[in-house]
Amino acid sequence: MSKVYLVKSKQSESGTIETLPKFEWIQIIEDTGPELKSILERNEKVAIISESSIANVLSSLEQSNPKRRAIELFKDKFLFRKLIKDEEFKVKEVAFRDISKLQVKNKSVLKPLKGCFGTAVKIVDESTNFEKLEKEIQNEIEKNGSIFSENVLTSNEFIIEDFIEGEEYAVDMFYNSEGKPCIVNIYHHPLPKHEHYLHMIYYSSMKTFDEIYPLAKLFFERLNEKISVTDFPMHCEFKLIGNKLIPIEINAMRFGGMGLGNLAYHSFGVNPYRFFLEGREPNWTEVFKNLDDDLRFVYFIAYNSFSKDIRTNFPKIQKLRDEFTEIKFEQLFDYQKQLAFGVFCLQENQENLNRLLQINFDDFFEPII
């Protein structure tokens, strides 16, 4: 029987495996050792669950393999902008020690060269106090660096790039064995009130699909005219400006992290890995046919408190549950070892979704007695 191989590392963040039911056609392998190289050489269906595995995938691919070239293009911010013909978009490398000396004229995004969980991602402009910001970033990196390795979260290498206005969206997709793009979910990523909880909410809806699907499909068709890959999953981030979809970042060889890619399974019964295995796209018209247009299918990451010490405080899980309209799936984590105490798949209305975006997780942690 054909299989999908999910590649994990010792530094993989929680979420993807924990939120996916076990299937005999999914095999989980480590990103070290000869097995990874062997299955890549056989052109099996392979997806990683964390950016921490991408270096080992690269080293296991032949130089001539189109997948290797595509991964390298997406990882290099400068080559990526050239690839998509957006060279007016300015990207500059910055060492951590130079952050305090930065001067910017326009609204920009400062972030680690490699990052996870929105750690140390800052929106800056000409009014930013960069000396103060450098100290904030150092504290954030030290706090989260105990969980993520340098392969996942760089502490000394940063980039600063133009800020693109517009609503943010993400797409999980793959190119099948014929190189055709197959979309397995589309998410709207509204920004929360508190920037420390950047990735708290992603959601899918019929409105989101109607707006983004045709634009994304066209983008992916044109992209593969340049990279020529097959059996290649991707998690892609965009900004929507008018009717134009602007690519921000492409994460190769995986779907949405921390289990985001499994939202479709718990919301619609659509398993993205099953469709990846079979090389086909869900019939999204059928999926949404009997669903209310106003429903929002939410992936909610329950962050640890930003201000309270998790060594002396614990999460009030039931208090958070009471904020939700309907919980479709719940997975709790060891908050002492992760940056979140759980993830939830929710069914919400827009009114309550707007309220959830105001959440401050400091309010959901209380002292250990």
CATH number of the domain at 129, please.
3.30.1490
Same domain, 240 and 293: yes
Rounded to whole angstroms, how far apart are CA atoms 49 and 30? 11
- 71 inside domain: no
Using alpha carbons only, what angle is made at residue 220 by residues 65 and 151, rounded to the nearest 5 degrees?
55
Helical (H) or strand (E) element with 184 = strand 181-188
- 152 inside domain: yes
Q: What is the pLDDT of residue 165?
A: 85
What residue has token string 């960069």?
A: 130
Of 279 and 105, the structure prediction assigns the larger pLDDT to 279
| pLDDT averaged over every residue in the chain | 90
- 43 inside domain: no
- Give the pLDDT confidence of 146-198 residue by residue, as tens digits: 666 666 677 888 889 888 888 999 999 999 999 999 999 999 999 999 988 99
Taking the CA atoms of 152, 153, 155 and 160 in sequence, report the sign of the dihedral they define.
positive
Closest CA to 265 of 47, 50, 22, 51: 22
Q: Is the pLDDT assigned to residue 122 strictly greater than 90?
A: no
Q: What is the pLDDT of residue 150?
A: 64
Q: Do residues 287 and 324 touch, judged by C-beta distance below 8 A? A: no
Same domain, 346 and 265: yes
Structural domain span for residue 311? 165-367
Rounded to whole angstroms, how far apart are CA atoms 48 and 63? 19
Q: What is the pLDDT of residue 288?
A: 93
- Give the pLDDT confidence of 303-350 residue by residue, as tens digits: 999 999 999 999 999 999 999 999 999 999 999 888 899 999 999 999
Percent of the chain whose pLDDT exceeds 70: 95
- Please state which of the ranges 94-108, 144-158, 238-252, 346-360 shows the lowest mean pLDDT: 144-158
Same domain, 175 and 127: no
Mean pLDDT for 123-135 is 90
Binned at pLDDT 50, 70 and 90, residue 116 comes out as: low
Closest CA to 240 of 316, 336, 165: 165
Q: What is the pLDDT of residue 88?
A: 62
Q: Is the pLDDT assigned to residue 277 strictly greater than 90?
A: yes
Same domain, 240 and 345: yes
- Give the pLDDT confidence of 69-78 residue by residue, as tens digits: 999 998 877 7
**Which SS3 state, helix, strand or coil, does residue 302 take?**
strand
CA atoms within 13 A on the CB side of 52: 23
Q: Is the pLDDT assigned to residue 87 strictly greater than 60?
A: no
Same domain, 268 and 303: yes
Of 135 and 45, the structure prediction assigns the larger pLDDT to 45
Same domain, 266 and 323: yes
Q: Is the pLDDT assigned to residue 86 strictly greater than 70?
A: no
Q: Which of 122, 147, 162 is the last residue of a domain?
A: 162
CA atoms within 13 A on the CB side of 141: 24
Same domain, 212 and 253: yes
Helical (H) or strand (E) element with 17 = none
Rounded to whole angstroms, how far apart are CA atoms 14 and 303? 13
- β 296-303/340-348 pair status: antiparallel
- Give the pLDDT confidence of 285-305 residue by residue, as tens digits: 999 998 999 999 999 999 999
- Provide the 8-state DSSP code for 221: H
Token duo for residue 289: 């046919």
Same domain, 110 and 252: no
Q: Do residues 294 and 25 touch, judged by C-beta distance below 8 A? A: no
- Please state which of the ranges 25-39, 131-145, 170-184 shows the lowest mean pLDDT: 131-145
Domain count, the chain: 2
Q: What is the pLDDT of residue 202?
A: 98
Same domain, 193 and 290: yes
What residue has token string 């809806």?
A: 205
Same domain, 172 and 153: no
Q: Do residues 270 and 281 touch, judged by C-beta distance below 8 A? A: no
Q: Do residues 153 and 145 touch, judged by C-beta distance below 8 A? A: yes
Of 200 and 91, the structure prediction assigns the larger pLDDT to 200
Using alpha carbons only, what angle is made at residue 314 by residues 311 and 318, rounded to the nearest 5 degrees?
170
- 80 inside domain: no
- Give the pLDDT confidence of 244-264 residue by residue, as tens digits: 899 988 999 999 988 999 999
Of 149 and 113, the structure prediction assigns the larger pLDDT to 113
What residue has token string 């990874």?
A: 36
